[in-house]
Amino acid sequence: MNAIPESRPNATDAALDYAARDWPVFPCVPGGKRPATAHGVHDATTDLDQVAAWWKHQPDANVAVRTGVAFDVLDLDGTEGLDEASRLAGGDDVVWPAGPTVHTPGGGAHLYVTPSGLGNRARFRPGCDWRGDGGYVIAPPSIGPNGQRWRWVFPWGPDTDLEPAPGWLVDLVDGPATPAVPRTKAVARHPGDRYAETALERECQRVAGASAGTRNDTLVRAAFSLGQLVGAGVLDAETVASHLLGAALRAGLGDAEARRTLASGLKAGLSNPRAVA
């Protein structure tokens, strides 16, 4: 990521600029994320006189912006968060919104999106936090404890239009942990269960070991085959979905892509149940 050069960044000017954009701001301690006001995020305001007074009193205060009002923020924590985002976006049809983006002192990123109505959620995926209603993030040109600044990433600065978070990302933050699959009743033990359990293990191994270029096809075939056993009443749909999703993620498929492929294969298999002796 290429950060916007800031030769002489000024926290006062930045705080006033954000407030003028109707982004509620408040000061944090210099070099840190701890609020410098009595009520923290609840003191956030767009009142320019109040903002000017805060930074006149403490010009080197870091600038915090409240989330859940003008925007939400996807907070990618260092290389772990960036790697997870890359993995999630592994599917060719997964597109990240190109809204305002910040490079953080720890080597991660903040991606600003339109408010989703969601609250805060820490580590909904490895290295990924969601800053929504009632939360806040530190904004440029604030300085981190390591002396590095929060910087806008060129060309996605604060003038960039906000875009909504894609549905698959909102689902990850707030949705179920397993894919949406056709609902089935839990099944009783059956003479074919051992065969079915072995089939589940074998198909999961195939999916997890699939190479790039074959992963989607391997997953849909496995989901179809196991869906036939779900239709026969010897496997449970939720169990199959959970195991296959885990295998697909280990193989390197993006989460949203894996969920769609999995649901499609299971649905087709359920429509063609297999006879089990």
Position 180 scores a pLDDT of: 46
Q: Is the pLDDT of residue 191 over 50?
A: no
Q: Which of 274, 272, 266, 245 is nearest to 184 (CA)?
A: 266
Task: With beta carbons less than 8 A apart as the criterion, state whether 107 and 78 touch.
Answer: yes
pLDDT exceeding 90 applies to what percent of the chain? 47
pLDDT class of 122 with cuts at 50, 70, 90: confident
Structure tokens at 226: 């196991």
Task: List phi, psi (to 5°) of 32.
Answer: -145, -175
Note the pLDDT tens digit of each residue in 21-58. 999 999 999 999 999 998 899 999 999 999 999 999 99
